[in-house]
Structure 1
């Protein structure tokens, strides 16, 4: 089966290149287009607007003076589209002939709320967000900057239904929850490819630098019909930055943690170069970050670990013709982190130490080909990620707690899309695809005689047909997966209905299924220290896959009240989990540690409502806020403690019934910007294991808290298109930091909640040209 799949993949690659070889003309058409892009109200030229030919990979950006030039375009009538940040999308048609140069100018209107964002996560094909069959939320690079985010983890929470939490007081293990479900219920993709493994998931949210990200697309609800295993509660698609013009940017931020002598230093570099013809482009990024360990309560043990990371990467493209292109992406990440006490000594000399050293290399290569009328589109890709980790998870000067872990993930796939002018009752788009993924994990701890090996092979095929017009769409699809750890083939269906009674009203109903196979997950590869003892997780022998069924109903509304632009999103969701994975204490080990077992519980349901509103009052002030109300319960009470006197619970841990976020941007002067961002979290249930804090395991109801951030920036034009930005601000303005941490070597490192940082002041500078 695998041999057949790989042979088919290679054949498609060769066929695609062969077809394209016949398509590329030997000489240019000399059909050229030039013009400018200006603001309709002020008539000021708009620099760095994207100008593209619809239906082709051809495009460019306006220069610093707001002018553009496209040459050697296809002959005939073309649709040209202009996109610029803060402006409505505009299209115009033009007819080009060989050897002739035409002028096409654009006057675009300001629009703080875009209805025409392009997304790919809803159907694995580029489509306008308002016409997508499923609701997709988008986080762009600008929001990461507003939040002062240096990594993916610090910007993800600014979407309804999404929370990022810190789950370890020693090492800073983070996870993202979608609609309240644990992090392992979400599939994280890089450029739509499933290479984010269980090992990467332990610390990966902090290892992806913000300056690597173009945007993040969040698809809530089961996504296994598109993306396979683990897309049971939602999908997070990280789209990396693509070069669009020749430019460079360098920034450095210095942050003081809690007003102490612990600092977080982050330097970021981006540079890109695009050929004059726009046929090829190369973008690179780099980040260097060092954060000192931070001890909040003065007990000598860190609440935030030492973090020392370096990352570098690139993304490039080459247009082999008017309707095809090759895209390559590569990244290298190295991260060292250490938490506990006695940080200047070897970890085995400390009372508590959690230390990891990661080296990660990953990348992808893809080829896209389409017909001239875009009725047929092909894509083939191959991607990989290799992770090597050296670790120490131990306490009380334990020499045996060293370990090594290696993980290789390979994913490849092909996809074909055909557009029918009419299929049965309306136009439709048929998508067929196949994927193969391989995950080879080897986790070893010699001192404890632990040698865990796991190989996962998944062969999958997916299909969907979307009947669609501007007003209606009906999508029927599904995916078949054969997972080597599951005896049978798994089928995951999806159904989506969209109705747009007007351009400003988008109504959707969706059903999707998801599954999660019985394999090692991120927290299984993180060894917690509780009460001075190592706690490991193992899988039950009879563990079977977990299934989900998700239903959502949403209304996405746009309206202008005079000059005030508004958008209101209301989404109701319901997810049922069958054979839900749960943890229970089973035994103490001979080496003084504890083992928890993952088993199939009774099931669970999650239901609630997401509400999000956006308003642009003037060009100087805009506001965005979202709120989630939900209820997360197990079907039957789950026994989570080995102590029989501790009561079972039905409520899911770390899932507040009410939480949300907000962002506000003030621009009183053209070059002065102030951003206020924040997240608010209601009461939730958190496990507090016996140790230095409590004498008996207890489920604690935590207080509500709000984490508010302020960032102020001022732009100085140094020379023509060279800009210096000076910025500063504060994270966790009201210092809503946890006040009841455990203390000392016997502490429960998992008893942690609240904002990830204490009140922390920062300053920085950024040069762009």
Structure 2
């Protein structure tokens, strides 16, 4: 059953890619180009999101801060420019067939990102300043600055919650929100509660940081919106979506007092079709950490840990106001603590050993009305552990 589920997701992604390659963009020859600058330094800003607000049409600036939108539908639209750490800018624009326009932007830095969009407050995209509940956000800049390898390390820098290591032998991490144990906090992937309550206990180190675009945290009960486990709070992991053709691979080596070595390798790759109607983002991680014995009593203070994860997220823009997305992730974790780690568990004095295999994913379809007053959302998600 598990293999059939994985095969179905892969075939669906290939179908999406084929459909996107075959679909021709609007033949209007209506184009918009320009550049985006920092208002203070006048430097060009790379990888800024530029899109027609309310539609699925958009792009990002290149490494030199320039963008180009071609074959756009005609009519009156709002051109929106946004980037983490900067205030969002909008301009009204009238798109005319067989006409090319130049529209430039100057963005101003924002010390407190109140204009950021969050989805965890009421399950819809909402301006953070207008959200009915307080939402704390950990963005990708914070993940990179803190060199976080997993969700557990990223949450260490959030106020109002605590990530703690429990059990000296197996050394699992759990998150406490409002003092409640991990089982009382709901962890979501792209706003979907496909992880069980024990994810807050055992799953924090299974979610790699390179699949995360941002993390939204709500402190306080949210069971009415997110399920019975959201008593202490909600942690919503928003995964990355492909925005440009890119790829990177990173390897990190570290050790604890020169005794326990840790090797961590991560990769990301994004591919988009030329008309930007479809894209796919692949990610993976392999983490290997040796057990650490601090006081030389032959029992580990930190367990041996082996993590492996792989997944993808793809999309197909089925229309001007509709989009279909598919997400899949495969994770494996093995951890063992105690003594005699190289022997079988029954040959040791004290051993705790855990091993998890997780296959999960989902399909999501979104349809907006032309006036952006109505939205239809249909999704299905599943997980096998």
Does the TM-score normalized on the shorter chain lie above 0.5?
Answer: yes
1:184 is paired with a residue whose SS is helix
- The residue correspondences of 1:29-108 to structure 2 (distance < 5 A) are 29-108=28-107
Residue 640 of structure 1 corresponds to none
Q: Give yes or no for contact 1:70–1:277 (8 Å, CA) kept in 2.
A: no
Residue 182 of structure 1 corresponds to 181
Deviations 1:684-737 (Å, cap 9, x if unpaired)? xxxxxxxxxxxxxxxxxxxxxxxxxxxxxxxxxxxxxxxxxxxxxxxxxxxxxx
Deviations 1:119-159 (Å, cap 9, x if unpaired)? 00101000110011111110112112222210000111222
User: By how many angstroms is 1:349 displaced?
Assistant: 0.3
Q: Give yes or no for contact 2:175–2:200 (8 Å, CA) kept in 1.
A: no
Question: Matches of 2:28 and 2:318 in 1, distance apart?
Answer: 15
User: By how many angstroms is 1:28 displaced?
Assistant: 3.4
Deviations 1:11-58 (Å, cap 9, x if unpaired)? xxxxxxxxxxxxx99953332211111122332211111111111222
- The residue correspondences of 1:455-470 to structure 2 (distance < 5 A) are none
Higher RCO, 1 or 2 (CA under 8 Å, sep at least 6)?
A: 2
Q: Give yes or no for contact 2:211–2:239 (8 Å, CA) kept in 1.
A: yes
**Unpaired segments ≥5 residues, structure 1:** 1-23, 388-769
Residue 210 of structure 2 corresponds to 211
Question: Matches of 2:25 and 2:201 in 1, distance apart?
Answer: 51
User: By how many angstroms is 1:86 displaced?
Assistant: 3.2
Q: Give yes or no for contact 1:336–1:356 (8 Å, CA) kept in 2.
A: yes
2:78 is paired with a residue whose SS is strand
How many pairs does the alignment contain? Answer: 363
**Unpaired segments ≥5 residues, structure 2:** 1-22
- The residue correspondences of 1:115-154 to structure 2 (distance < 5 A) are 115-154=114-153
Question: Matches of 1:25 and 1:350 in 2, distance apart?
Answer: 64
Residue 300 of structure 2 corresponds to 302
User: By how many angstroms is 1:335 displaced?
Assistant: 1.5
* Correspondence for 1:375 among 370, 373, 376: 373
User: By how many angstroms is 1:166 displaced?
Assistant: 0.7
Question: Matches of 2:200 and 2:384 in 1, distance apart?
Answer: 13
Question: Matches of 1:145 and 1:137 in 2, distance apart?
Answer: 17
Structure 1 residue 289 and structure 2 residue 287: aligned?
A: yes
2:377 is paired with a residue whose SS is strand
Q: Give yes or no for contact 2:185–2:197 (8 Å, CA) kept in 1.
A: no
Residue 18 of structure 2 corresponds to none
Structure with the higher strand share, 1 or 2: 1
User: By how many angstroms is 1:375 displaced?
Assistant: 1.2
Residue 112 of structure 2 corresponds to 113
Question: Matches of 1:144 and 1:225 in 2, distance apart?
Answer: 30
2:317 is paired with a residue whose SS is strand
Residue 324 of structure 2 corresponds to 326
Question: Matches of 1:264 and 1:190 in 2, distance apart?
Answer: 27
Question: Matches of 2:61 and 2:68 in 1, distance apart?
Answer: 8
Deviations 1:465-519 (Å, cap 9, x if unpaired)? xxxxxxxxxxxxxxxxxxxxxxxxxxxxxxxxxxxxxxxxxxxxxxxxxxxxxxx
Deviations 1:512-534 (Å, cap 9, x if unpaired)? xxxxxxxxxxxxxxxxxxxxxxx
Deviations 1:195-233 (Å, cap 9, x if unpaired)? 111454442100000111111101111101211211112
Question: Matches of 1:32 and 1:277 in 2, distance apart?
Answer: 13
Residue 593 of structure 1 corresponds to none
Residue 314 of structure 2 corresponds to 316
Q: Give yes or no for contact 1:195–1:384 (8 Å, CA) kept in 2.
A: yes
Question: Matches of 1:25 and 1:147 in 2, distance apart?
Answer: 43
User: By how many angstroms is 1:308 displaced?
Assistant: 1.1
1:287 is paired with a residue whose SS is strand
Residue 267 of structure 1 corresponds to 265
Structure with the higher helix share, 1 or 2: 2
Question: Matches of 1:207 and 1:26 in 2, distance apart?
Answer: 40
2:157 is paired with a residue whose SS is coil
Q: TM-score, normalised by structure 2?
A: 0.91
Question: Matches of 1:211 and 1:295 in 2, distance apart?
Answer: 29
1:205 is paired with a residue whose SS is coil
Q: Give yes or no for contact 2:116–2:128 (8 Å, CA) kept in 1.
A: yes
User: By how many angstroms is 1:333 displaced?
Assistant: 0.9
Question: Matches of 2:148 and 2:38 in 1, distance apart?
Answer: 30
Residue 13 of structure 2 corresponds to none
- The residue correspondences of 1:657-696 to structure 2 (distance < 5 A) are none
Question: Matches of 2:124 and 2:117 in 1, distance apart?
Answer: 10
Residue 239 of structure 1 corresponds to 238
Residue 12 of structure 1 corresponds to none
1:225 is paired with a residue whose SS is helix
Deviations 1:169-217 (Å, cap 9, x if unpaired)? 0111221111211111111111111111145444210000011111110
Residue 221 of structure 2 corresponds to 222
User: By how many angstroms is 1:250 displaced?
Assistant: 1.3
Question: Matches of 1:135 and 1:199 in 2, distance apart?
Answer: 25
Q: Give yes or no for contact 1:161–1:180 (8 Å, CA) kept in 2.
A: no
User: By how many angstroms is 1:69 displaced?
Assistant: 1.0
User: By how many angstroms is 1:71 displaced?
Assistant: 2.1
Question: Matches of 2:296 and 2:274 in 1, distance apart?
Answer: 58
Q: Give yes or no for contact 2:183–2:198 (8 Å, CA) kept in 1.
A: no
Question: Matches of 2:133 and 2:27 in 1, distance apart?
Answer: 41
- The residue correspondences of 1:136-535 to structure 2 (distance < 5 A) are 136-257=135-256, 259-387=257-385
Deviations 1:412-432 (Å, cap 9, x if unpaired)? xxxxxxxxxxxxxxxxxxxxx
Larger radius of gyration: 1
User: By how many angstroms is 1:101 displaced?
Assistant: 2.0
Q: Aligned pair in 2 of structure 1 residues 312, 327: CA closer, same or farther (>3 Å)? A: same
Q: Give yes or no for contact 1:334–1:360 (8 Å, CA) kept in 2.
A: yes
Q: Give yes or no for contact 2:185–2:235 (8 Å, CA) kept in 1.
A: yes
Question: Matches of 1:26 and 1:85 in 2, distance apart?
Answer: 29
Question: Matches of 1:43 and 1:146 in 2, distance apart?
Answer: 25
Q: Give yes or no for contact 1:79–1:94 (8 Å, CA) kept in 2.
A: yes
Question: Matches of 1:386 and 1:372 in 2, distance apart?
Answer: 38
Question: Matches of 2:94 and 2:360 in 1, distance apart?
Answer: 43
